[in-house]
Amino acid sequence: MGRRSSPEVNAGSMADIAFLLLIFFLVTTTFEQDNGVTRKLPRWEPDRIDTEIVIKKKNIFTVVVNKNNQMLVEDNLMELKDLRAAAIKFIDNGGGKSADGKTCDYCKGERSASSSDHPSKAIIALKNERETSYETFLAIQDELGAAYLFLRDREAERLYGQGNTYTKMNKVFRDPQVKDEVLKGKLKKRLDKLKDMYPQIISEAESKKR
């Protein structure tokens, strides 16, 4: 054989192979990005019932959903659209003192004596029946969560300036692409402070049988 230059490899079928792989990935993967309403469940303590701590009635905001998906808030029938405002009013009332004797100096509520003492004491108790639909339940959870977010956002803007809302800072803090540890540390401090000002206390009590 002579010293021929080697013939060029035919790349015509490369596109076919790439297409094949492409189609494989199109079929087996999804674009799914999971978004969720995060909550923390209470610990399982079956013996707690007898030794339950006494909580003043005014510090509890009861939301009851029945099997027809109707909502009773503090024993009054309420539409879902009014829930957020009612919850904000309750949490932000600040009528008394917190457990360690501080008054809520940042609350902008009515300071009524018959509503919650302090955001750290204000408990939202959500009760549902077994027949309640999940959609309604989550819509209510969403509204309650939004009430807390509204208050945290408001305080964040007051403390850290216009545009620095809790929602925004939380988004940056949770973004895995942001690698700036100094920034994250700073954000964490701020977020924790805000969470401390308006702790989210939603109790999802056991649903009643029947």
Partner 1 sequence: MAKFKKKKSGELPQASTAALPDIVFMLLFFFMTVTVMKDGDLMVENKLPSAETVEKLDRKNKKIMYIYAGKPAKGYEKFGTEGVLQLNDKIAQPSDLKQFIYSELALRKEEVIPFMVTALKVDKNVNMGLVTDIKTALRKENMLKISYIAGKPGAKR
Q: Which is nearer to partner 1, 113 or 178 (CB)?
A: 178
Of 42, 80, 113, 192, the one binding partner 1 by CB under 8 A: 42
Of 129, 157, 195, 199, the one binding partner 1 by CB under 8 A: 129
Rounded Cα distance between 20 and 26, Å, is: 10
User: How many CA atoms are closer than 13 Å to the CA of 79, on its beta-carbon side?
Assistant: 2
Rounded Cα distance between 192 and 3, Å, is: 75
Smallest gap, in angstroms, from Cβ of residue 71 to partner 1? 13
Smallest gap, in angstroms, from Cβ of residue 100 to partner 1? 26
- Using CB under 8 A as the binding rule, whether residue 181 contacts partner 1 is answered as no
Locus of tokens 């339940």: 137
Angle made by CA atoms 184, 170, 148, in degrees to the nearest 5: 140
Smallest gap, in angstroms, from Cβ of residue 172 to partner 1? 12
β-pairing, 60-65 vs 71-73, is antiparallel
Size of the site for partner 1 (CB under 8 A): 49
Residues 6+ apart with CB under 8 A from 93: 107, 109, 110, 111, 112, 115, 116, 117, 122
- Using CB under 8 A as the binding rule, whether residue 99 contacts partner 1 is answered as no
- Using CB under 8 A as the binding rule, whether residue 19 contacts partner 1 is answered as yes
Binding site for partner 1 (CB under 8 A): 11-12, 14-15, 18-19, 21-22, 25-26, 28-44, 128-135, 137-139, 141-142, 145-146, 149, 170, 174, 176, 204, 206-207
